[in-house]
A and B are shown apart, each in its own frame.
Chain A
Amino acid sequence: MTIGYLFRRLLSILLVLVIVTFAVFAITAVLPGNAAIMILGEYATPDAVAALEKQLHLDLPWYMQYSGWVSGVIHGDFGMSLRLSLPVSDVVGEAFVNSAVLAGTALVLVTIIAIPLGAIAAVSRGKLMDLLLAVFSYMGSALPEFVTATLLLVVFAAPKTGIFPAGGFTAPWESIPGFFSHVVLPAVTLGLVLMAHISRQVRSEMSEVLSSDFVRAARLKGLTEKRVIWRHALPNSLAPAVAVISLDIGYLLGGIIVVEEIFAWPGLGRLLIYALENRDLPVIQAVTLLLATVYALSNFLSDVIIAILDPRVRYA
């Protein structure tokens, strides 16, 4: 991987983000109805609407509105939330940290569970263990989050027998046990589909690698089966799995909106729903832009990881 490649890749991410700012801005600008009227509701007297339009710069031509917003974004100023009367950057920043903690936990959970599961399934191909894991993963990918979430709530958070709280949030830097008890159910809900998906992916990659010439060669060199599987086969199955995980980030970002709402997790997903319901334009814009940035960067990161895992991959 050359410095030139990294530079060009980052440049293209920047280009994507510029396009996203257009899209985000256009969507909020072309939403039907006058935003000022929507916000003011029953208080929408012509004077009040005119005053709010001025405050929101809605009276300016679109390119002036756009450049004003973008220059603010570049300086870290996303404007003021219309409903919360707080700077958007503060509101979104806090929600982002909370969401990142949840998504990160889910992702770690997925990685440390799904990859070994996939490897085990591939090694015991055609046997009972493989079948059980297949059933698990088909169920995992067939059930939507709100169903798994409900099931988990009934089993683990019922009023009398529950061992986990049904919702809410404690930051890990406030109380580690409190954080864990709150994060388990949403993280598992979020991770289940991905676990199913990624373990299947690792299984199919791994079974292909297990029947490859170099694995046969490794066995015929007199290496133990343990070494053949963990040292020769698994590392060769990981790079494609990482590519799938990076595509799943998009799914994760969508899933977070549902899961946060169900478990009352104060993150970006909840904030986005709140902002949409209340026509809080600056917040909607900021959250959308942020999610796009996360997605672009995580794809970039996965390319870097793949290049590290597979020495043949050379970006130039």
Chain B
Amino acid sequence: MSATHVNTHPPVKDKAVPFDAKAPRLAIRNYSLSYATSNGPVKALNNINLEIAPGETHGLVGESGSGKSSMAWSIMRYLPDNAIEKHGAIRLAGQELLEMSPRQMIDIRGQRISMVFQDPSTSLNPTMRIGDQITEVLMAHRGLTKAQARAEAEAALARTGITRPKEMLSRYPHEASGGEKQRVVIATAFACEPELIIFDEPTTALDILTARQILDLFNRLREETHVSALYISHDLGLVSRIADQVSVLHHGDLVEHGPVDEVFNNPQDSYTRRLISAVPHPDRWLGVKKPETKEPLLSLDAVSVRYSPLSFKEKVLKIKPDESEIFWGAKDVSLSVRPGELLGIVGESGSGKSTIAKALTGLNDFTGKVKFGDIEVNGRKQISRDYRRKVQIVFQHPDASLNPRQTIGTILSRPLHLYDVVPSDQIKDRIRELLELVRLPTEYADRYPHQLSGGEKQRVAIARAFAAEPDLVICDEVTAALDVSVQASVTELLVNLQKDTGTACIFITHDLNLIRQIAHRIAVMQHGKLVDLFDRDDADAADRHSYTRALLDAVPVQVSLGVNETEHENV
């Protein structure tokens, strides 16, 4: 290892040596890391100083590429071969981790430092029973027999609030829900009573309500065990609620750190300030003026999408299938969008919000009635070309929705050709106008999607939707894959486009704070049904559906900004 050490402690060879109780659990000193690439070394972390006291939770905040994951791999000593550690020290309870042999690290991982990962559905081995995945850690580190380890594992699962721990032990990961799987990962991390646990975005892949439960679990276990935690996240609202200390990473530099309240109430660094102001806050209205008319532009009347296809028998004999066995992607959804309005649709994954988007754009067949101006549609096959032009959609992942082999110009020219929006000799000019509309340089017309950043690609996708000069644009989680600051600018762009063109918008999202900033009305979906539909101002009204209330309560709202912070907190 090429690291030079500033180690004041004698090198510790024997792990039985009692560690220094006064030392911080984790101390990182002047640590720098870069990766060797064919274009020379790329800096990942620059002179990092960070300390975590016993029992303390330290939030590490940053956008993608900021180096927050590199920090985790450095602590775990799990760096790729091309990693170069220039200088610095990482000490666990006073012991220098950079000096540990791979063999010593095996003893430390899982026993003294453990980790909880982002996506529980990929971090558990799919072909191994859950019980075996917990007991193997106990057997490896605490030398327990299989039977002892099983008893321990059962107790550990029970501590994480799994109701039937014994039964869970014999299940495979795919037989457990996302929340249960994350509880299993957490139980495994806590199993050997480690000194430090690294949480790497543990709730990002989970649904809103499940994420809330996992956070509650984290808070409870932290109090019970006094473990120190490094909590890595891009979500400032969340970190502001759970961490004691916070550090902000930007391009590998630690730009700001300190107690949570201080950093969030009085940020010193300009990047931190920008990051904080980019976080959606429900009380900060960004949207356009509420439309005057109540006459609907588009209305859905009992629209249903059926996902279980008719079986061969049902088709041949024309028998009606048993109602209870049908899986409905959406069932009897009735709502309307007014001209110029922004209607938010929120709900957890699988609630049917994207299904509605697909039905409205003719990507899914449906039953029921859709009325759009004078056009009435009773199923996918009746959707006309005129309707398709007037109702456009933007998808979540621009990488998947932009053809990688076409230039941006070609991509934008397609709807112009298809719907004869402008005469063909004006298409070039129109593409330039469209790029200017979404605030991209006009020379981007000759570039390919892979040469653009994620936010820029999403702007292209938005420009394509607006190219057809639609009356309604459906945005399906368009900001979900983007970083906070990029998300804010894309949202702002959409709202401005709405202002300029008067286009109505259906904005589908799981981010309740975001939708409350821009939507005039919000529809809430659960299990394929529309359970609530309310004006933005009535979000806290007494007659809200219980599910709406649960969703609102589950979302952490960022502390500070002079906003009444207890507003949505009480469960």
On A, residues with C-beta under 8 Å from B are 212-214, 216-224, 227, 231-232, 235-236, 309-312
Closest Cβ of chain B to A268, distance in Å, is 37
Among listed B103-111, B317-325, B518-526, interface-contacting one: B103-111
Q: Are B174 and A312 in contact (CB under 8 A)?
A: yes
Q: How far is the CA of A310 from the CA of B106 in the complex (A)?
A: 28
Taking a contact as CB atoms under 8 Å apart, the answer to whether A217 and B123 are in contact is yes
Contacts of B78 in A (CB 8 A): 216, 219-220
Query: B544 interface residue, CB < 8 Å from A?
Result: no
What would be 9 A-B contacts, judged by CB atoms less than 8 Å apart?
A214-B124, A216-B78, A216-B123, A217-B124, A217-B185, A221-B137, A223-B137, A311-B172, A311-B174
Contacting pair B107 A222 (CB below 8 A): yes
Task: Indicate if the CB atoms of A213 and B136 lie closer than 8 Å.
Answer: no
Known: A216-B78, A312-B174. A222 touches B108 (CB 8 A): yes
Please tell me if B126 contacts chain A, counting CB pairs below 8 Å.
yes
Contacts A222-B110, A222-B111 given; does A213 touch B117 at CB 8 Å = yes
Provide the B65-76 mask, 1 if CB < 8 A to any CB of A, else 0: 000000000001
Closest to B188 in A: A221
As a 0/1 sequence over residues 114 to 141 of chain B, the CB contacts with chain A under 8 angstroms (1 = contact) are: 1101010011111110000000110011
If A216-B78, A311-B172, A311-B174 touch, whether A221 touches B109 (CB-CB below 8 Å) is yes
Asked if A222 and B137 make an inter-chain contact with CB atoms under 8 angstroms apart, the answer reads yes
The CA of A231 and the CA of B132, in the complex, are separated in Å by 11
A219-B78, A222-B108 known; A236 vs B137 contact (CB < 8 Å): no
Nearest first, the 8 A-B pairs at minimum CB distance are A222-B110, A222-B109, A213-B122, A221-B110, A217-B123, A311-B172, A214-B125, A213-B123
- Min CB gap B52→A, angstroms: 18
Q: Could you tell me the distance between the alpha carbons of A223 and B105 in the complex, rounded to whole angstroms?
A: 10
Contact check, B140 vs A223: say whether CB atoms are below 8 A apart: yes
A-contact 0/1 string along B371-397, CB 8 Å cutoff: 000000000000000000000000000
Report whether A312 and B141 are in contact in the complex, using a CB–CB cutoff of 8 Å. Answer: no
Complex partner residue of B115 from A220, A224, A310, CB under 8 angstroms:
A220
- Of A216, A221, A232, A236, most B-chain CB atoms within 10 Å: A221
Whether A232 pairs with B125 at a CB distance below 8 angstroms is: yes
Measured CA separation A310–B174 after assembly (Å) = 11
By beta carbon, the residue of chain B nearest A234 is: B127
Contact of A220 among B109, B119, B141 (CB under 8 A): B109
Q: How far is the CA of A309 from the CA of B128 in the complex (A)?
A: 10
**Per-position 1/0 for B137-159, Cβ under 8 A of A:** 10011000000000000000000
**Docked complex Cα distance between A223 and B125 (Å):** 14
Bound: A213/B123 CA distance, A? 5
- The reply to whether A236 and B188 form a contact with Cβ atoms under 8 Å apart is no
Quick check: B127 and A236 within 8 Å, CB to CB?
yes
Q: A-facing mask of B155-192, CB < 8 A → 1, else 0?
A: 00000000000000000101000000000010010000
On chain A, the residues within 8 Å of B108 by CB distance are: 222
B172 — which chain A residues lie within 8 A by C-beta? Answer: 311-312
Whether B106 and A224, one on each chain, are in contact in the complex, defined by CB atoms closer than 8 angstroms, is yes
- Whether the pair B188, A212 counts as a contact (CB closer than 8 A) is no
Contacts of A310 in B (CB 8 A): 126-127
* CA–CA, A311 and B173, complex, Å: 9
Nearest opposing residue in chain B for A223, CB measure? B140
If the complex has contacts A216-B78, A309-B127, are A223 and B117 also in contact, measured as CB distance less than 8 A? no
Residues of B within 8 A of A227 (CB): 136, 140
Residues of B contacting A224 with CB < 8 Å? 106, 140
Q: Find chain A residues with CB under 8 A from B188 CB.
A: 221
CA distance A281 to B124 in the complex (A): 57
| Bound-state Cα–Cα, A220 to B172, Å | 20
Contact in complex: A214, B123 (CB < 8 Å)? yes
CB atoms of A214 and B122 under 8 A apart? yes
Query: Are A312 and B114 in contact (CB-based, < 8 A)?
Result: no
Taken together as a complex, chains A and B put the C-alpha atoms of A272 and B473 apart, in Å, by 67
A222 to B128, CA, bound (A): 17
Minimum CB–CB distance for A304 against chain B, Å? 16
Q: Once bound together, how far apart are the Cα atoms of A214 and B128, in whole Å?
A: 11
Chain B proximity of A211: nearest CB distance (Å): 11
Contacts of B114 in A (CB 8 A): 220-221
CA separation between A214 and B184, bound complex, in Å? 13
Asked if B127 contacts A212 (CB within 8 A), the reply is no
Q: Are B122 and A223 in contact (CB under 8 A)?
A: no
Assess the B115–A236 pair: CB atoms within 8 A. no
Which residues in B have their C-beta under 8 angstroms from that of A212?
A: 122
Q: Contacts of A217 on B, CB cut-off 8 Å?
A: 115, 117, 123-124, 185
For A309, the chain B residues whose CB sits under 8 A away are: 127
Cross-chain contact B136 with A223 (CB below 8 angstroms): yes
B122 proximity list for chain A (CB < 8 A): 212-214
A223 touching B110 by the CB < 8 A rule?
Answer: yes
Please indicate the chain B residues that have their CB under 8 angstroms from the CB of A216 in the complex.
Answer: 78, 123
Q: B336 to chain A: closest CB distance in Å? A: 40
Residue in B110, B137, B141 whose Cβ sees the most chain A Cβ within 10 Å: B110
Q: Which residues of chain A have C-beta atoms less than 8 A from B76's C-beta? A: 220
Q: How far is the CA of A72 from the CA of B562 in the complex (A)?
A: 91
A213 touches B127 (CB 8 A): no
Docked-complex contact A236 and B125, CB < 8 angstroms: yes
Given A213-B122, A219-B78, A221-B110, 11 new contacts (CB under 8 A):
A220-B114, A220-B115, A221-B136, A221-B137, A221-B140, A222-B109, A223-B106, A227-B140, A231-B128, A235-B127, A312-B127
